[in-house]
Every structure is written in structure tokens, then in C-alpha cells.
Structure 1
Amino acid sequence: MVRSRPGAAGLPDDPDELVRTRAPFLVQALLRSPGLRARAAEVLERGRPAGRVRDLGALMLHPDDAVARAALETLAPALDPPRDRAAERAARDIAGLKVRLERERARLGYAKRDVEEANRLLAEVTAARDDLAERAESLAAQLAIAQRRLQEPRPLAAALLRTLEQPPAPSALDAAARDPHNRPEPGPEHNEPLLAAAGAAGLPPAELLRILRAVVDPPAPRVRVGAELGLRVVPLGGATEIGGSCLLVEAGGTRLLIDAGLRPGAEPAPPREIKRALDGPLDGLVVTHAHNDHCGYVPALVALRPDLRILATRETVRLMPAMWADSAKLMRMRDRRAAQWGVEAGALYGSLEVETAARRCEEVPFGTPRRLGALTVELFPAGHILGAAGVVVHAGDRRAVVTGDISGFRQETVDGYALPDAAKAADLLVMESTCCAEDHPGREGRVRDLVRAVEEVCQDGGRVLVPAFALGRAQEIALLMRRHLPEVPVRVDGMAADLSQAFEAVTEAGPRPLDVLGGAVAVAERPADLDAFRTGVVISTSGMLNGGPAVQWARRILPEPGSALFISGYQDEESPGAALLDVRTGGRLTLMDRDREVTVPVRARVDTMRLSAHADRRGLFDIADEAGAREVMLVHGVPRKQRMFRESLRMRGHTTTDTGPWRPPHGA
């Protein structure tokens, strides 16, 4: 009867087993079903039980629900199986412990996350503290360098002579007005600094200038018997590659280097053929500008040639020590990592060599000749970055012109090049060819594209990271933001901030002072700004995302769908910046953040905003045409592109020479 009812599936088949194990179930079934009780009463009557069993059964199976319920409810507790109260308590305790365990596991998870966040913040605070300490150390070192330079007679005399001979600033922006040869020479009666210095020295102005010039330009030595009198130019680095620029110029027994840069890579290296320069004496080094691929090897060179004279513009002299100090720091960090694996130190120089090199630097104004042995050098504005210069080398009646990195357009920080007469119709023009295969869009259009892109992101509440080269590009972008988007907050971080302050200091007393920081542009405050600075522009080093605070910013900004990262310059093929351009939005990028690999999702907008500071193909044509040299040699470029551009120059009527050792053609 019971097994035929709904819900009886799974009951034992044996009636005795059913009664023994499921008595409570049977009682509840009888309570709920009068029909079941009636049928059970019939069975009981047929069995004719005796005595109390019959009486109890009659009550349990009574047709009156109230009677049956009372009897069955009285009997139900007795039918329950014996209860193991200790087991029940244990079960309850276990259940409670499980709840507590889950609760404690949740708390442990929260605690772990809190510890991880605290460790992250501690690491960032420690990194910020270390950065501040390094910046303070760097500033102290630069102050010490400046003080010690005052003890060096020739650099001090050169700086004083530069100040006293400084021509008035041009009143126009055209090339003719910027050419030092076209500016009128002020007479002593109109030169207040000269009059004041002469009065303090108790000398006539002309005599003071003569003494200073004698210190800066000692009499030319007699040419050694048998020495070569002809001009010879030999590329030692950066010839058919970008980086490690170095050029050897020889004449009359004098040997002069123009630039001594580092080759970029995991381990910065000297110019490829620098040993050829060290095979003999060196009379001087002219540095065209303060980028490391042109000046980064100088401290190592000075360590090998302690008496080496270093000539450069005032701006380059002021900026180079900061670049050298940063390179020394990075090399020191690499050596520490290498030491953990038992690898010997490989740093090219340290802080002592940086200080020594800085003390050897002499400031040279544009258009003012300086003699180095049998050679005379003259600098002219090359555009590119603040302080960049081209070089005219005079060897008797022979001349070679070296452009260095050059550009003809006006930027926020510097005007374009200005070729003086001395740079025209020379025997040889050594011209950079970085962008010789490119025709850049108009600069104004590129600036508009950058401004529009930044504005779109910031208006929607996002933030923009621009990894930028610390010297030149970072200041250019900061000034563009100040001029075109003055209401957008901008943060400048890393070495870019230090050099921005250096830009302001070195131009403060000049005709074109630069205010990079100010208004909405400020130095970033790490680590607080990493998360608190939610809308605006961040300009930070390194420009290729292979280190520095730009990596800390990228870790946060790349995963943000409403933000953006704009690549602003050249990216080495193996750099994270180049990898990011391949990944674009939707992928993942691996970065190296202080010796630790970190992989982040890329949800932010990724784009390229090129603001090259190099002359493009058309600009290089203009330079070659204006210079009108007898022969043109291309350096600082890629061989395949150089070959194509060399052919284009020939089609325009220029005579070119292969990149390599050069002498004037016989009879020329």
C-alpha cells in the first residue's frame, strides 16, 4: 500500500526492513491519508491481533482524523530511531567550524590583497625616494662641476670671452638674421659687460680681450717635419648606422674628433672604430649637441686622454653632464645586475669620469673661430635641439662642413639651421641622413593632429602618456601643450623634468628664454600622481619604454580603455615601444619595471605622433643645395636608404662620395 503512493520511490522492498528503518515515514503517511488508515484497519482485522496491540491499532487507524492523529502523535516519538546527541553536537560544531573557516579564508584573502597593495605602494615610495635621492645627488654633482670649472683657466676664460663677445640677438627669424656673420659687431663703447669687466681688471677692453683670446686660442704649433699637410676626414662611428657618431679630421699633424657618441642597445658601446682615434695624439673634440648618440662616450674618452679639449656651445656644455650622469647611473645599475650572475663590471665610466669631462668643456659661441693646432673650427646653428651646432673645419685653404643632426624648421625650443658663408662652397659636406628616405607632412599639421588627439582623450576624462626622449622631445611636447591646450594639466616626470629645468636655466639670460614648467605644466609627484592624476598628459622617460618612470605610468594607463599612449619618436626594433606598436589595442605587453617583468593588457588607444627633429628628404636637399659643397658624404643613416638618397643627390647635380675615409680629389 505504502510503496504504491507518490514519493515512495527508494523505500526498502522488505516490509520488515521498511517498518524498522522508516517508521516515522509510515506514521506521517497514516496521519495524512484516511484511506490508507482504512485499508490498514482491514489488514489488522484479518490478522486478529490480541490485547493491547489490537486496541492500539484500532486507535491509530480510527476513521476519525482527530482520534488517529492523537494516537499516532503519541506514538511518533517512540518510533524515532535513537538519537546520537554527541554526534549531532559534533556535526553542528563541524558546520560552525566550516563557516568560520570560510570567513577566515575570506579575511586572509583580503589581508593578502592589502599586503600586496602595501608592498606595491612601498615599492613605489621607495622608487620615488631613490629617484629623489639620485636627482639630489645629480644636482649636487652638477653644482660641484660648475664650481670646479671655475678653477680651470681655459674653460673659465672661454666662458668669460663668450659673454664679452656675445653679439646682440637677431631681431628677425629668417636665416640671414640668424647668421652670426650678418650681425654687426658692437664696438667696445657699446658693450657694457666688456666695459665693466675691463674696469674691474684695470685693463683697456682690447687688452682684456687679447689676453682672454690668448688663453683660449694659444699660438698654433709649428707643423712637424714630415707631417701631412692635407685635409683628411674619416668616419669612425655613426657612418652607416644611427648611433655612436664620431668623425676624425686630420691636417698638418693635428687630429680632431667631431662627436664621440654611444651606440644604443642592451649594453651601450663606443664608436665602432674609436681605436683608430686612439692610435695617435688627439688635439681636441668638438661636440655638436648633447644627445648621447653624439656625446655619450666623451667621459670614457677623457679618461684615456685627460688633457683633451672639449668644445661645444654654451647650451651643450650645460646639458651634457646631466646626460653623462644618467648614462653612468644606468651602467652602474647594469653592473649590479650582472654581478649577481658573476659577470664582471662593464661600465664605460662613472661619476669621477663625468666630473673630469665636464671640467674640460669650453663654451664656444656661434660664429667665433677657435684654433686647435693646425685646424680652426667654427660653429653654426643646426636647429634640431637646444644648443645643436654644425661645424666648419678650416685646414689652410681647405674646408669641411659637418652638419651634425640638423633641421630647418622652427620648433618651440629652437629655430632652424643657419649656414654661414664659411659653410658654403666647402670641399666636403658631411651630412646626416636619418630621414633621407622620408617626406614628412607639414609640421603644423602634425602638431594639429597631436593637439586634437590629446584633446579628444582628455575631454572624455582619460589621460595620455607620451614616452619621450628626455632631451629635446619632452620639452617640445610640454611647450606645445602649454601653447595649444593651456587648460589641460600636464605632468613631466623623470629625467625630462630635470632637463626641463636646465632648459629654463640655460636660456634665462638669453634672447629667447624658455618657460617649460608653469601654468598647467608641473613636475610629477610620484607615487601619488600615478593614481591621483586622472585626466591630462604625462610626459615621461624613457622614450622607448625600456625603463624609467614611463614604465610605471604605462602599467596603469595601458589597461584603461578611455586613455591613450602616443609614441613620439624613433623606436629601436627590440624596444618595448616597438613591441607596443605591433601589439596595439587588444593585446598584452611585457615591460621591465626595475628588474621585474610585468605583463599588462593593452586596452588604451595606441598611436604614433611623430614630431621629428631631423630634416627630411626635402630638407636635406635644401641643405645640400644651399651649402654647394664640392662633394657630399652621408652619415648617420641606414645604408640602403643612403644609397637611394645619394643617387637622388647626383641627379640634382651634386657630386657625392662613398661613406668612408676621404681626401680632397687630386688637383682640386
Structure 2
Amino acid sequence: MTDVLSPLLKAAADVVLSRPALADYGDDADRFVADHRGDLLDMLMRSEELRRLAQARLRIPGSQRTERDVAHLLLHTDAEVRVAAARVVEAITRRSPNVAADRKLRRLNDKIAELKERLRTANGRLNYAIADVETYREAAREATERADLLDSELEATHLQLRDRRFMTSALLALLQEEPSEPEGDSSTRDPHRLKPEPAEQPSSPLESAARAAGIGPDELVKALQALIEPSRAPDTVAVAAVRERDLRVVPLGGGTRIGGSCLLVESGGTRVLVDAGLVPGDPSQPPQDIDQGLSGLVHAVVVTHAHNDHCGYVPALAERLPDLRIVATPETTRLMPAMWADSVKIMEQRRQLAGTWGAKTEPLYGRAAIARATQGCEELAFGVPRRIGDLTVELFPAGHILGAAGVVIRAGDSTVVVTGDISGFRQHSVGGYAFPESARYADLLVMESTCCAEDHQERGDLVDALVKAVESVYAGGGRVLIPAFALGRAQELSLIMRDRLPHIPVLLDGMAAEIGRSFETVTAGGPHPLSVFGDNVSRARPGDLAEFTRGVVVSTSGMLTGGPAVRWAAAILPDPKNALFLSGYQDEESPGRRLLEAAQGGASHLVIDDMGEEKKIPLRARVEMMRLSAHADKRGLLDIADEVAAREVMLVHGLAKRQADFREILRLRGHTTVPTVAWRAR
């Protein structure tokens, strides 16, 4: 019978004979094996170094399968496997060769096969256990985040219910809310059209409430406003009376960049901020010149919408200014706490990550600040003026996302209109902008300019292209990942998929799912309730990353800067059947922009940093930009400027070079523009 141990023992003998103390043997490895067979086998069992060196010298022809399998088991890293294999081999090879050698060899092979099967089974169980641990860890993380969010919302609700000013502003917003118009084709939107008069006007909620109180509607509004607006100290009133009452506007952030939006508007003794957003980055930063705005007392911040680049710094302000009034639409006041809670989570993760490397980065605020900011919120319905000291503010629909508003601010005969982020086309989740009469012929129009250099395709054509692309990938048996901004874009995509592709399963993951639930809660009972989930759209669950093999995933973050979208990208991008469609603006330094450039340049992989963990992702899937912008493009912005017909126009929330080119276009259209610097009504 062939000695199946011979190749391995010879390799071990070569290692041992290389030692000077055994020079008498020369290079006669065969003789050394014959004299010390048992010792060599015992040394192999005990010495990791000998196993490593012997394995390096081992040469077994491909035809000697049994010898190769035996050597593999005897050199295994698991001691139990090595010992079991040695016992089997020794038990067989100690017996004298006879006519039953073939049968013994078969038994040896069977035993080796059994050991290999046991090893495969053990490895499989280990892999399943590792996968289960990861699944449970992910489920625990999501459950913790959801619980934290619900705790924040519950705490905020309790504070609001105990706050007289919040409850009064909510009641006043409800009473003053205008009845919604019937939905129509956005392409025929005409802000100047006359509304037909109904045969008989029913009583409005305000009129009914005033009648029940036994007073007139104006008296009821004044009484409620008196409860909302803090009384002003006599010395403040006296100082305000002698101060200049013309409007003054100072950009404090987001003027010639996108992010950190903040505008100071002041008149007499009143100073109001319009927005207070975060500047995206690692870590996020306050508005660039916020300290200049806080050089005097700030009475209120009017928030145009709940995106963090417009509202993310509000809790820090509320912490510094305990009496700060935070005015926004009802939808925005209810969406902001979730966005603030997500910011706190990200800031805390970055703080912990920086701490592991010895760096220091303190969060801008914590959960206590969120509670304080939520308590300070005042709901204000569209089209209803509200006094803030020497200023009057009025909100109007701005399109863009649910609850987004533009602002008309008046002081005496001066008027400033701030568009906020604005769009004129109808989306599945929100309609377009609608300027009130009070906005027309303003002294200054402060207009966003995100897309002032772009000419977008018709909204319907863009949606058609996305639907067709998703259908194509799904028909080929693949998955589509659409990274999306958690607020607005993700819910819009969900509603599009429900409407246009009801046969394709869709998952919402991460913060997108949390905000989707908020959309349904915020709009429930209103004139246009939104159903983000249902039918083919559901919330992602732990395990879906491996089990959801065909369909659409909409997940945060929209620029692939972190979150579950990065994990989905790592799973989806290596497969050529799949696709990743970017749906929104990608910052110059974002992983999303790098992905698009890498795919266009034919790169083989992309490296993404996910909260300190570097991921190298192969690029084999289809990667394209399928942008569904929620901002007005160049033509839309020109229409806005024409419609408001302000005496002067200031551009904010855009890139300086593009703004310079767009100012020239505005000038050629007959508009007077001013630089993005401090402005005063003349």
C-alpha cells in the first residue's frame, strides 16, 4: 500500500534536516523519515512553525488526490481536525499491506471525506451565525433609532400640549386655513385666473368659532394673536418708535453657496431670521455669518421648509435664545423634529468616530435643544399675516416639498419677498408655488438660484424616463437602488412607483421610511392625504439586503455620504443586472458625484467611507443620473421674477459663477439686480 503520508513527512524532514545539528544525515530525507516517522508526525501536530515551513516545501502532483487531502487535513489550523486525521492515517498505515489494501484505502478516503464534510458543515454554521448576528445588530440599530425618534416626537408633543403659544398658533392656523382648490393640471396653472363665486358661501371655521364666542372674526383673531405674540417691554417699544423702520436684509448664509441658508430681516426694533440651516460637511457647520446675526436680539426665525440646509441650526438658536419664536407652516413644524433628531444622531456618530482617532468635534446641539425648539414652534397657515414686532410676515405655497413656503415680509410701505426653495410644477406629493397679491411689486425679491443655469426637461418626460429605466432593469431580473434625500424626494419616488409601476416591489429604507410615515400622519384628515406605503411599497426590514433580489430600493442618503444606501450600493453595484439611479443634486465632493464620474470614466471600483469604514465597491451595474429636481430651473426662475415684478432682485442659494451669468439674463429681461450683500429699502 502507498504511504499517503510520504510527501508531507518528506517535506517536514527537509525542514528538520536544514538544521546544522542534523548534518550527519546529509540530505537523505527518506532515511530520516524511515528512522523518525512517528517523531515527525508528532512534531507536525505540535509545531505551527514546522507546519508552515513544511507546507511551503510540499509538492504533490495533481494525480495524488489522496495524499493532497491528507496533507490538507494534517496541516489544518484546527487542532481537532489534525489529531483526528492523524489517528485515522496511523491506524490504517500501521497494518501490514495485504490483499485488502484497496478496501482500506477506500475507508481512508471515506473518513477523509467525512472529516471534510464535517468541516464544511461547521463553516456553514459559522457563516450563518455571523449573518444572523449582523441581521440582529441591524434590526437592533433600526429599532433603537425608531424608538429614539418616537421618544423625541412624544416629548415634543407633550411640551407642545403644555405650551399656550403653540396650541394657540395651531388653533389660529386651523381657523384661518383657506379651503383647498380642486386639483388640476399644473401646466395650466394661472395665478391671475378668477375663481367662480359659489351660489352660497358656507361659513368658514373662523366665522363659526367667532359666532360661538359671541364676537367678530377680527376680534377673535386679535385675541388669539395677543396670546401668541409676547408682550414687549415699554423700553423696547420706546426705542423701536424712534428707530428707522425701513426694511434691511442681510444674507448670513447660503448666499453664494448651497447650504446653511440664513437671512436677517430687520426693521425698527425687530430682527427676524428667515431660515437657519446647516452647512453640509464633516462635521456640519452653522450658517457662515450667524454670529453677526446674533450680535443683537433675534425675535423669531421664520422657517421656509424642513430640509436641514434651511432649518437644521434652529435648535441651536432655540438653546441660545429661550424666547425665540419659530414660525412655519403646520406641515413644516411637524416634520422638523424628525430632521433635527436625525442630525443629532449623525453628529453624535461623528463625535464618537472622531474620538477614536483623538480628534475633538462637539455636536452643535442635543436632544434637549430639539425639545426646546419644538416647544417654540408656531404654526402659520398660508395667506395669513402675522405680526412679529415691527414686521408682518405672510407665508405662501412654494412647491418644492410638503409644507414648503415662501415669505412676504412687510414694514410700513416696504416689502421683501423671500422665495425659499421653490418650484412651479405639480408633483405627486405637492403642488407648485402660488404668490399672493401682497408679493407683487415688492421692493426686493430674494430668489433661490440652485438651478439658475439649467434648462430642465418637462417634469412628465423625466418621470417617464425614470419609469422606463426601472421597468427595463426589473424585466432583466435586477434590482434598482435610488439614493434619495430623506425628506421630499424619497416620498415622491414612492408615490411615483405606486402610481406608475404597481407590479414592481419597492422598499423604503432608512430615514426615508421614517419621514414617509410622518408624511402620512401630517396629511391624514387633510384635503390631500398621502399614502406613501401600501400595495407594492413597503418598509425595508433586516435581512432584505440579501433576500430582496428584484425590485426597487429607495434609501438615504441621497449623495451616498452614509446610511443604508451605502450598504445597498455595496450589494447592488457589483452585479451587471442591477442599476443605481442618482435622483438629485450631487455635491462636488460627495461620493455620489465620484460614483457618477467613475462610472462615466469606466472605473472598475469605487471607494466609499461609511462613518469611518472604508468600502471598496466593484462597479459593474448600470449607473446614471435620473434627476427629478424639486427646484425651478432657469425658465421657471425667470417666470417668478416676471410674476413678482420686484423693484430689485437678489440671488441666494446658488453658486456664484452661475448667479453672475443669471444676473445678466435678468438684466436683459428688464430686471434690476443687486449683489448678495446687505440691502436696505430706499
Query: Aligned residue for 1:398?
Result: 414
Counterpart position of 1:448:
464
Residue 5 of structure 2: aligned partner:
none
Are 2:675 and 1:658 aligned?
A: yes
The Cα offsets for residues 103-137 of structure 1, whole Å up to 9 and x where unpaired, read as 85786576456534532431232122111121122
Q: CA distance change for structure 1 residues 595 and 131 in 2, over 3 Å: closer, same or farther?
A: farther
Please report the TM-score for the alignment, with normalisation by the length of structure 1. 0.81
Q: Partners in 2 of 1:360 and 1:181 — Cα distance?
A: 38
On the 8 A contact 1:167/1:186 being kept in 2, the answer is no
* Residues 358 and 177 of structure 1, relative CA distance in 2, 3 Å threshold: farther
Question: Structure 2 matches for 1:615-630, cutoff 5 A?
Answer: 615-630=632-647
Q: Is the 8 A contact 1:167 1:185 kept in 2?
A: no
Partner of 1:245: 261
**5 Å matches for 1:38-117?**
89=94, 108=119, 111-112=122-123, 114-117=125-128
Structure 1 contact 179–419 (Cα < 8 Å) conserved: no
What is the SS of the residue equivalent to 2:144? Answer: helix
The answer on 1:276 being equivalent to 2:292 is yes
Task: Supply the AA of the counterpart residue of 2:663.
Answer: R
- How far apart are the structure 1 equivalents of 2:665 and 2:275? 27
| Residue in structure 2 matching 1:344, options 360, 385, 395 | 360
Q: Partner of 2:20 in structure 1?
A: none
Paired with 1:393 and 1:498, the residues of 2 have a C-alpha distance of 34
Residue 13 of structure 1 corresponds to none
User: In structure 2, what is the equivalent of residue 327 of structure 1?
Assistant: 343
Aligned equivalents of 1:547 and 1:296: distance in 2?
A: 18
Q: Alignment partner for residue 587 of structure 1, among 600, 604, 626? A: 604
Amino acid at match of 1:546: T
1:476 aligns with 2:492: yes
Unaligned runs of 5+ in 1: 1-84
CA contact (8 A) 1:172 1:178 kept: no
In the TM superposition, residue 594 of structure 1 has moved relative to its aligned partner by 5.4
Deviations 1:373-425 (A, max 9, x none): 11111111111111111111101100111100001111111111111111111
| TM-superposed deviation, 1:342 | 3.0
- 8 Å CA contact 2:350–2:611 kept in 1: the answer is no
Separation in 1, partners of 2:459, 2:176: 35
Residue in 1 aligned with 2:651? 634
User: Displacement of 1:195 after TM fit?
Assistant: 3.5
Q: Secondary structure at the match of 1:640?
A: helix
Contact 1:171-1:177 at 8 Å conserved across structures: no
The residue that corresponds to 2:552 in the other structure is: 537
One-letter code aligned to 1:649: L
Q: Deviations over 1:142-199 (max 9, x none)?
A: 0221121011111110101111222211135479787999798999971357646874
1:422 equivalent to 2:438? Answer: yes
Cα distance, 1:513 vs structure 2: 1.1
- Which residue of 1 is the match for residue 562 of structure 2? 547
Which one is further off, 417-426 or 566-575?
Answer: 566-575
Give, in angstroms, the shift of residue 203 of structure 1: 7.0
- Which residue in the other structure is 1:190 paired with? 203
Please show how residues 100-499 of structure 1 align to structure 2 within 5 Å.
108=119, 111-112=122-123, 114-171=125-182, 173=184, 190-191=203-204, 195=208, 199=212, 208-217=220-229, 221-224=237-240, 226-499=242-515
What code does the residue aligned with 2:314 have? V
Supply the distance in 2 between the matched residues of 1:137 and 1:623 (Cα, whole angstroms): 41
| Percent pairwise identity | 53
The AA in structure 2 aligned to 1:190 is S
2:476 & 2:513 partners in 1: Cα distance? Answer: 27
Change (3 A) 1:614 1:347: same
Residue pair 1:176, 1:418 contacting (<8 A) in 2 also:
no
Tell me, yes or no, if the aligned pair for 2:573 and 2:619 is still in contact at 8 Å: yes
CA distance in 1, matches of 2:327, 2:194: 20
Indicate if the aligned counterparts of 2:177 and 2:382 stay in contact, CA closer than 8 A.
no
Deviations 1:437-477 (A, max 9, x none): 00011111111100000001111221111110010000111
Equivalent pairs, count: 579
Q: Tell whether the 8 Å contact from 2:176 to 2:205 is kept in structure 1 after alignment.
A: no
Which amino acid letter does the alignment assign opposite residue 321 of structure 1? P
Letter in 2 for 1:629: A
Aligned-residue offset at 1:360: 0.4
Structure 2 CA distance for aligned equivalents of residues 620 and 485 of structure 1: 32
Moved more, 120-129 or 461-470: 120-129
CA contact (8 A) 1:565 1:607 kept: yes
Match of 1:558 in 2: 573
Stretch deviating more after TM superposition (224-233 or 104-113): 104-113
Q: Is the 8 A contact 1:167 1:183 kept in 2?
A: no
The alpha-carbon deviation at position 329 of structure 1 amounts to: 0.6
Query: Secondary structure, in 3 states, of the residue corresponding to 1:390?
Result: strand
Letter of the 1:644 counterpart:
D
Q: Is the 8 A contact 2:191 2:435 kept in 1?
A: no
User: Hey, what's the Cα distance between the residues in 2 that align with 1:91 and 1:610?
Assistant: 78
Residues 180 and 420 in structure 1, CA contact (< 8 A), matched pair in contact too: no
Quick one: distance in 2 between partners of 1:212 and 1:483?
42
SS of 1:224 mapped into structure 2 = helix
When residues 426 and 120 of structure 1 are mapped into structure 2, their CA distance, relative to the original with a 3 A threshold, is same
- In the TM superposition, residue 557 of structure 1 has moved relative to its aligned partner by 1.1
Distance 1:440 1:105, change over 3 A: same
- List per-residue Cα deviations over 1:633-660 (Å, max 9, x = no partner): 1011111101000011001110000111
Q: Which structure: larger Rg?
A: 1
Matched, 1:647 2:660: no
| CA distance in structure 2 between the partners assigned to 1:138 and 1:170 by the alignment | 34
1:598 is aligned to 2:615: yes
C-alpha contact 2:482 2:582 (8 A) present in aligned 1: yes
Aligned mates of 2:526, 2:142 — CA distance in 1: 31
Task: Give the conservation status (yes or no) of the 8 Å contact 1:434–1:614.
Answer: yes
> What amino acid maps onto 2:408 in structure 1?
V
In structure 2, what is the Cα distance between the partners aligned to 1:357 and 1:185?
A: 42
| Secondary structure of 1:392 counterpart | strand
Contact between 2:299 and 2:325, CA under 8 Å: does it hold in 1? yes
The CA deviation at 1:493 is: 1.0
| SS across alignment from 1:190 | coil
Question: Are residues 100 and 588 of structure 1, via their aligned partners in 2, closer, same or farther at CA, if it must alter by over 3 Å?
Answer: farther
**SS of 1:611 mapped into structure 2:** coil
What is the SS of the residue equivalent to 1:599?
A: strand
Q: How many Å separate the matches in 2 of 1:145 and 1:576?
A: 34
What SS does the corresponding residue of 2:624 show, helix, strand or coil? Answer: strand
Q: CA deviation at 1:486?
A: 1.1
Mapped to 1, the partners of 2:560 and 2:448 lie a distance apart of 26
- The 1:591/1:226 distance shift into structure 2, 3 A limit, reads same
- For 2:483 and 2:94, locate their aligned partners in 1 and report how far apart those are by CA, in whole Å: 66
Q: Could you tell which deviates more after superposition, 177-186 or 99-108?
A: 177-186
Give distance in 2, aligned partners of 1:141 and 1:525.
22
In structure 1, what is the Cα distance between the partners aligned to 2:524 and 2:197? 23
Contact 2:251/2:262 (CA < 8 Å) preserved in 1? Answer: yes
